[in-house]
Amino acid sequence: MGKVVRLYWGYMVAAALVVGWSQQWALPVVAALSIGVSVYAAFQVPVWCGAVNRDGQTYCRNNAYGVLMGCSKRQHRWQKIKMIVMRSKAGDFSRAVFPTAKEKFNAFLAVGGLLSAVAAVIVPVVTG
C-alpha cells in the first residue's frame, strides 16, 4: 500500500486541487496544491522513457519517472532535456513525451497545475 501511495500521490493532490478550487479554499493552499501537482507530473509520475533509440526511429520503452525525465540511461536523460531546449526538436519531443494517452494525461496535469498556480497568484492581485 505504501508503494502505491508513494507512486501515485500526485493524483490525490490533483483531486484535492479540484475540490479546493470548487470549494474556494484559501489561495495559498490552492497554490501549494498546484505546485505539488506540477512537480509530481514533471518529475515523479511513472511513465515510459520515450527517448529516441540509436536506430533513430524507435523510442525507449523503459520505465521512467516524470514527463521531463528519462530512464536510468544517462544519455536518455540528456536527450530529453535537449529535446525540450532545442526548437527544431519540438516534433520529436511531442512524439517522445506523449506516445500514449497516459503520458498525454500526465502532461495535461503538469500544465493544468502550472496554470492553477498562476491563477492562484493572480486572482488576489486582480480582485484586490
- Per-residue CA distances from 80 to 24, 38, 76 (Å): 37, 18, 6
* pLDDT for the residue numbered 12: 92
* pLDDT for the residue numbered 23: 92
Ranking 23-27, 39-43, 87-91 by mean pLDDT, the lowest is: 87-91
List 47's β-bridge partners, or say none.
64
Vertex 46 angle, CA 109 and 77, to 5°: 100
- 24 torsion bin: left (phi>0), alpha (psi -120 to 50), beta (else): left
Which alpha helices (DSSP H) does 23-100 contain, by range? 27-43, 74-85, 90-97
pTM value > 0.75: no
